[in-house]
Amino acid sequence: MLKNKTVVVTGAAKGIGKAIALEFAKKGANIVLNYRSTVDKALIQEIKGYGVGCLPIQGDVSNFTTAQTMINTAKNEFQTIDVLVNNAGITKDGLLMRMSEEDFDSVINVNLKGTFNMIKHVSGIMLKQKSGTIINMTSVVGIMGNAGQANYASAKAGIIGLTKSTAKELASRGITCNAIAPGFIQTDMTDVLSDSVKEAMKNVIPLKQFGQVEDVAKTAVFLSKSKYITGQVIHVDGGMIM
């Protein structure tokens, strides 16, 4: 179902975004690999090794015009855009009383406005195609909140509302829009934590283990194939939020 389809993945240089790009490539999809600063050339070659096209595009999704240019470039290269995965995101954690306006705004701009920007520019293409899948990356933090992450939680909660509104607006043309809410996923960020902190985090997860980036990636592929699921938030969190 995904062979020769075009998948745009934002924030795809590492972590969850990288895993998503690779999982779609394994299924035969051409990959538009968005990154903000740098990308490992080995990743591009690995993707191409699956016999698919890979178009790396540097760009900041929080910039409305840059987002439009990225979408237009992807369309010109592959003719269609079948799946958009809005994964790009940043964190600037801090207690609310100490959080600067700049730190609040920058997280909202990348995580929430960036998601809007990409949806805004891809929707016209998908409407003409009368098909398409949009997958937005939210978080358990956007559902339950978290001390020290008021900006991040606000952005991720906003993505849920954006997902549901987009799903309702585009459904009549056969376009689906869903969100994935990862819990604690093993990445470079969690690897640096002390063993005691890791154990404390695992104790709040019913499955008593961190998820893997591949768990999120496979969920994204599943949603891209599911034409009768839309407006939903899929939790990949080991049962943390029930």
Contact 180, 133 (CB under 8 A): no
| 173/170 Cα distance (integer angstroms) | 6
Sort residue 135 into left (φ over 0), alpha (ψ -120 to 50) or beta: beta
**Helix, strand or coil for residue 112?**
helix
Six-digit token pair at 5?
Answer: 């389809």
Nearest to 83, CA basis, from 214, 223, 235: 223
| 108/90 Cα distance (integer angstroms) | 9
Residue-level length of the chain: 242
Which residues are known catalytic residues?
A: 152
- E strands, 108-204, are 132-137, 175-182
| 241/138 Cα distance (integer angstroms) | 13
